[in-house]
Amino acid sequence: MTINIDEFKIKLSQIYLSHFRIILDIKDFIINTVLAIRNFEKTRIRSEKSRYIRYPLEKIIQLDENLVLEMTHVKIFSVYEKFLNSYFYEMKKENKKFRDGYLTNINAFSKYLEDIFHLNIKYGLDCWNELIENYYRRNAFVHNRGKIGKEYIKKVKNCSPKERGKKLKMNLKYMKECISNILSFFHYILEQTIYFFNLENMEQILSGLNDERQYDINPSFFSRFSLSKAVI
């Protein structure tokens, strides 16, 4: 099948950069929001001390942070799903080998990569086990009120059945690590595409689009394609 390879490379680069930028924006948002919550709660406690005297400051802050972090966790996986759907839509247009598949289910997608790329992401992506946990934590927030259930126990490594019913807690450190895992995943998919299609000059295309579209992404994210974990 004859394809316009330059247009194909630009399309994939745009999808990669735009979703990468969204994730970075979410990271900035959640850091600033959590810090604002902490500062606000400290001020509120001081100004309304009598009202909250029996409810520890740390507990109030934790409740607010958890709510924001849970919502953000769900949001970043909607970006993850949108990235996969957009990216593989372009792949399927250019090569019939990339058939329809259940891309947004992380385990089904792993099998899809084995069938198409003949690679095992479980061993190719350093943070795969962590990403699996991130994904099924998202499912727990959406479908099980944030509690550990059968699916989480079955899919997440080293999760004991004794943990069933336990509420999954969130904190800013976990959220930043989750974001790093998703960016590493985006990078891995683009890297494997470059190898599969033997796409040349992708670093220059990414750099040019980054400047032209003002994505404002540090060039180090795509100046060298390696399987190391994204550091943000």
Closest CA to 152 of 169, 134, 170: 134
Q: Using CA atoms, how far apart are residues 133 and 78, in angstroms rounded to an integer?
A: 16
Query: Tens digit of pLDDT per residue, the chain (232 long)?
Result: 445 788 999 999 999 999 999 999 999 999 988 888 878 766 665 555 545 445 555 665 666 788 899 999 999 999 999 999 899 888 887 776 676 666 778 988 888 888 877 888 888 899 999 999 999 999 999 999 999 999 999 999 999 999 999 999 999 999 999 999 999 999 999 988 888 888 888 888 998 999 988 888 887 766 554 444 444 4
Quote the pLDDT of residue 5: 80
pTM: predicted TM-score of the whole model, two decimal places: 0.85
User: Positive or negative CA dihedral for 44, 47, 48, 52?
Assistant: positive
pLDDT single digits (tens) 69-88: 999 999 999 999 999 989 98
Residue 105: CA atoms inside 13 Å, Cβ hemisphere, count? 9
Residue 170: CA atoms inside 13 Å, Cβ hemisphere, count? 26
How is the chain split into domains, by residue range?
5-123+171-221
Quote the pLDDT of residue 91: 84
